[in-house]
Structure 1
Amino acid sequence: MRKILFGAALALVIVFGVRYCEHTKDESEQLRANTALIEKQIKNVGKLIVTEGNYAQVFTYEDSKKFYVDVLSATKKALVVVNAEATIAYDLSKVATEIDELTKTVRITYIPEPELKINPNIEYYDVQQDYLNQFNARDYNIIKSRVQKGLEKEVKNSTLYSNAQNRLISELSKIYFLTNSLGWTLEYNGNAVTDSAPIKL
C-alpha cells in the first residue's frame, strides 16, 4: 500500500513538475516573442519625418552713407522679395530606447532635435544706388542673414512646427499602443506614458 501511495505521489510530482516547466517555458517564449515584436515596431518607427511649408517676405533694404562731415549723403535701397521653402525633419532612426524584460518596460531615452532647413529664393526690385554707395557683397550678406533669421522666427511660430511635432508624437505613439496591448509599460523622461498622460516633448 505504501509503495502504491509513494508511486502515486511521485507521479503527481513529476506531472506537476513537467507542467510547471512547460508553463515557465511558454512564458519565456511569449516574453521573447513580445520583445521581438516591440523591437520590430521600434525599427519600423525609425524613419525620417519631413514636414514642408512655403513662406514669403517683402521688405525694403536701405543703407545711407555720409561724406564730407555729413554734408553729402549717398543712399542705396531695394525692394526685397523672398519666396522660401522650409522643411522640418525628425530622424527617428536616432531615437534611443531601452527594453527591460524583467519589468516589461520600454524606455525612450533620447528623441532627436528637429532639423530645420530653409531654402530662400531672394529677388531684388526697384534697385536704387548712388555712385558713392553701391550694392556689394556685404549688403547681400546682411540681407541674407536678415531673411534667414526672420524666416526661422516665422517658422517656429507657425503651424509647420506644431504639425511636425504632432507627426513625431503620432509615430512614437505607435510604440505605446503596442506595448500597452501586450501589457508592457512605455516610459519617457522617467514618466509612464498613458492615455491620460501621453508623450510630451
Structure 2
Amino acid sequence: MRNFLLGAAIMALLAFGVKYFIDQSNTRKTELESSDLILDQMKNVGKLVVTEGHFAEVISYKDNKGFFSGLFTATKTALVVVNAKVQVSYDLSKIDYIVNKDIKTVVITKIPEPEININPDIKYHNLAYGFLNQFAPKDHNLIKKKVIDQLEKKVHNSSLVANSENRLISELQKIYILTNSLGWTLKHKNTIIDTPIAIEEILP
C-alpha cells in the first residue's frame, strides 16, 4: 500500500511538472506571438499618409523703380491668378518607437511633423510695364515666393491640415487598439496612453 501511495505521489509530481512546463512554454509562445504582432503592426503603420486639396488665389503685384533721386518713377504691375494643388502628408516611417518585450510596453518617442507641398500654376494677366522697368526673372521669383507664403497661411487655416491630422490619429489608434487588446501598454515618451482619445493630445 505504501509503495502504491509513493508511486501515485511521484506520478502526480511528474504530471504537475509536465503541466508546468507546458504552461510556461505556452506563455512564452504567446508572448513571442504578441511581440511579433505588434512589430508587424508598427511596420504596417509606417507609410505615407497624404491628404490633397486645391486652392485658388489672386494677387496684385506692383513694383516701382525710381530714377534721378526719385524725380521719375517707372512702374510695372500684374494681376496674378494662382491655382494650386496642395498635399499635406505625414511620413509615418519616421515614427520612432521602442518595443520592450520584458515589460510589454511600446514607447513612441517621436511623431513626424506634417509636410506641406504646394504646386502652384501661376498665370499672369494685365501686365503693364515700361522700357525702364520691365519684368525680369527676379520678379517671377518674388511673385512665386509671395504666392507660396500666402497659400501656406491659407492651408494652415483650412480643414486640409485637420483632415490630415485625423488620418494620422486613425493610424496611431490602430497601435493603441492592438497593444491594449494584447495586454501591452502604449506610451508617448513618459505619458501612458490609456484611451484612444488620448492619442490626440500627443500630436506635434
- Smaller-chain TM-score bracket: over 0.9
Say which SS state the counterpart of residue 198 (structure 2) adopts: coil
For 1:82 and 1:103, the matched residues in 2 are separated by 55
Question: Which amino acid in structure 1 is aligned with residue 35 of structure 2?
Answer: T
Q: 4+ residue stretches of structure 1 with deviation over 6 A? A: none
Say which SS state the counterpart of residue 172 (structure 2) adopts: helix
For 1:72 and 1:102, the matched residues in 2 are separated by 79
CA-atom RMSD in angstroms: 1.6
Aligned to 2:80: 80
* Alignment deviations for residues 106-135 of structure 1 (CA, whole Å, 9 cap, x no partner): 122222222211001111100000111111
The CA deviation at 1:96 is 2.5
Flag structure 2 segments of 5+ consecutive residues without an equivalent.
none
* Alignment deviations for residues 153-174 of structure 1 (CA, whole Å, 9 cap, x no partner): 2112211111111101101111
How many residues are aligned here? 201
Aligned to 2:121: 121
For 2:63 and 2:92, the matched residues in 1 are separated by 45
Flag structure 1 segments of 5+ consecutive residues without an equivalent.
none
Say which SS state the counterpart of residue 65 (structure 1) adopts: strand
Aligned to 2:20: 20
For 1:135 and 1:3, the matched residues in 2 are separated by 111
For 1:57 and 1:49, the matched residues in 2 are separated by 26
For 2:66 and 2:105, the matched residues in 1 are separated by 70
Question: Which amino acid in structure 1 is aligned with residue 106 of structure 2?
Answer: V
Aligned to 2:58: 58
Comparing 110-119 with 51-60, which one deviates more in the overlay?
110-119
TM-score by length of 1: 0.93
Comparing 14-23 with 106-115, which one deviates more in the overlay?
106-115
The CA deviation at 1:93 is 2.1
The CA deviation at 1:197 is 5.0
The CA deviation at 1:95 is 2.0
> Is 1:143 aligned to residue 152 of structure 2?
no
* Alignment deviations for residues 82-120 of structure 1 (CA, whole Å, 9 cap, x no partner): 111110111222222222122111122222222211001
Question: Which amino acid in structure 1 is aligned with residue 42 of structure 2?
Answer: I
For 1:6 and 1:33, the matched residues in 2 are separated by 40
Identity level (%): 48
On the 8 A contact 2:173/2:196 being kept in 1, the answer is: no
Aligned to 2:8: 8
Aligned to 1:155: 155
Comparing 167-176 with 183-192, which one deviates more in the overlay?
183-192
